[in-house]
Structures are given as C-alpha cells and as structure tokens.
Structure 1
Amino acid sequence: RNIGLAKSRVRTLNFRRANFQLFKELLDGIPWETVLKGIGAEQSWQLFKDTLLRAQELSIPQQKKLSKGGGQPAWPSKDLQLKLKKKREMYRKWKQGCVAWEEYRGVVGMCRDRIRKHKAQMELNLVRDGKNNKKGFYRYIGRRRQSKESVPPLINEKGELASSDMEKAEVLSKCFASVFTGGRASHVCQDPEPLGEGERSGIPPTVTVEQV
C-alpha cells in the first residue's frame, strides 16, 4: 500500500526569475474603477485578490523551498559544530561516570571561549561587508530581536478605545472597506501636536473620516 508514503513538496515564489514587467502590464490593463464600480467591499477584495494571484501565477515562477537548518544559530561554523558535538559526547560520558567532572568542565570552557570568539568575528565580518551583504546583515539582526512591534491602541469613529486584537482588526477593516464604499476614506493618524526629543505621546492613534 502506498497510502501515507507521498512526500509533501512545499514550493515558494522565485522572485529572481520573475517577470515584473508582465506582472505590471497584467494589472495596469484592467480598468479598476469600472470593474469595481457598484459592488461591495468583500466582492471587490475577492476580485482584486483573484486577479493578483492570477498575475502572480503567470509572471512569477515557483521553486522548491530550501531548508534553513532547523532553527540553528546563524553563526556556527563546521569546526565549531564539531566542538559542540564533542561537548555533548563528553556530557553523556560524564553522566555515565566515564570521565571526570574537571575534564568535562575543561571542554565546556573551551567551547564557550570558541563560541564567543567566533560570534564576535562573524559580527565583525557582517559589519565590514554590510554594503555588499545587506540581506545577510538584516537577517542576522532580525533573528537577534527578541520582540516584535505591535499595532498600538486605536480610537474608532465613536471615540472608543480599541485595545484588543479583535477590536483593532475591526477598526482597520472598516478603514479598508471604506475605500470601496460610499466615496469616504478612513485613515489612522497620530496626534498632530509635535513631540519633543525623547518624549512619547500618551494619546493613541485615532481613526478619522475624510471626504474624498
């Protein structure tokens, strides 16, 4: 029986071989004002999404997704990985009583020192080659960041504070839907009063409505 033996093949977009000129022509050739006239926000979004995905399929090829090493740090070299493997083996032998504690601690200290030096050298190389390897530099910075920025609390058209994820999503959804309905557009704006250096405003962004 061959059930369950099929392997999943994940594919991603290959932007290096994309034909962006064709992608632009496919979208520019559609009279959006005429096509979207008289239909609701949901239908407009679905039509735009289907058209965008169709243009993407025709102009951007796909490729097999490459593995990124299972979440390993960006800096270990082949030699350092062998040292870490030796440290794990020494730990197992110490737990089994085959080696002394001092011998195991010596290997741990050597690995820690090698890791610090190798990491410092890798970061120095990233800084020196930042202009030629911007992708690698920002990838490393992104992995080092512990927290990600989130959407701040918003004030809806009723003047109520939207702090939960669901409430903020509803406020932003109404702003997006207003683009396609009624000729009125909403936008999220900050407090217009300028802030001094190092100061932060305690007033959350508000959603206002303007006539288009």
Structure 2
Amino acid sequence: RDMRKARSAVRTLNFRKANFHLFNELVRRTPWETVLRDRGTEQSWQIFKDTFHRAQELSVPMCKKSGKEGKRPAWLSQDLLVKLKSKRELHRQWKQGQVSWGEYRETARLCREEVRKAKARMELNLARDVKNNKKGFYRYVNHKRKVKESVPPLMNKKGNLVSTDEEKAEVLNNFFASVFTGNLSSHPSRIDGSKDGDQGGRAPPTVK
C-alpha cells in the first residue's frame, strides 16, 4: 500500500527518564522479612509485585509512543499524503458509481508518479549526504536488501523433483556423502585419476 493506517498512540514506560535511585530506595524501605513472614508462595509473589509496581509508578514516567505500523515513510510528505487520501476517496466514489473509471485512473497514475518521484528524491538526498548520514544511508540500503533465499527444488536419483525441506536435505546429504566417501583413499597424498574439483564422476544434484 502507498499509505499505512496510523495507529492511535499508546502510553509506555520511559526508562530513559527513570529515577532508578528513587526506585531502589522505595524497594529497600519495605521490611521484607516481616512482610513475607508466614506467607505462601502466591501471597509473597503478589506482595512483591504490588510493591514493585508502586515503586515503578513513582520512579518511571510514562510517555506516548506510536506503534511501528503508524510511522510514516521518510519519502511521504504531508502534501503527498493528502493526495493519496484523495485517491482512496476517489476509488470509493468510483465503486459507488459517482465518478468515471477514467477520472480515477488518471488520479491513480498521477499519484504513482508522485510516489516514484518522492522516493527518487529521498534516495538522491541519501546518496548526496552519505558522508554526514552514513547510518541513515546504510539502514535504507539494508532494508532494500532484505530478501528470503531458499534452496530451489532438487532432482533425486530417481529423477523426481523434491520440494520439502526434509527431502532436499536428504538429496544434498546423499550427494556430499557419496563425494567424500568416494574420494577417500588409504594414501591421502595420492589421488587416483582425479583432479582438483573432480567429484569422482558423480554429477551434483540438479536444480530446477
């Protein structure tokens, strides 16, 4: 999606501004031996938890924090955000038959161009300012490089393609086991009829 839904801000503990000295003093003031005497496990845990939370409320302030999904992309300006909202509203009107398809399509095309230009401007600014903002540059690059790579389907000895992890692991295991056991010799310094990279005439598993 071009635009993420903004989530309502939530309150969370701000440990950066916490007064840990006050927290320690509040916890130490509790006469634990007297308070926990003749108490069971559940009662002792509840007393400790209540004391901990009271000390936390007095020593650790709260702050507002938006969810990760509510963060606006760096390339999304306020002006572009308004245009994307208008496009979404126009799409709703088109589904209800209030506007023509051509009108919505033209608006969508203009929004796509604006998004491409905004992303290109941001990438250009990151490249120009890489000396002063290396962290931001490499964070953006690493975000773009996040891909999930997996082993493709392999062909077993019977000529059948296998796709599950267990079957692919078995094919690779059999291949490497045959390579190493086939090249073993009672004289390590001598290799009979093989060169570097030779696998004893065995073909590697076929990747499809």
Do the structures match in fold with TM over 0.5? no
From the two aligned structures, give the one with the greater helix fraction: 2
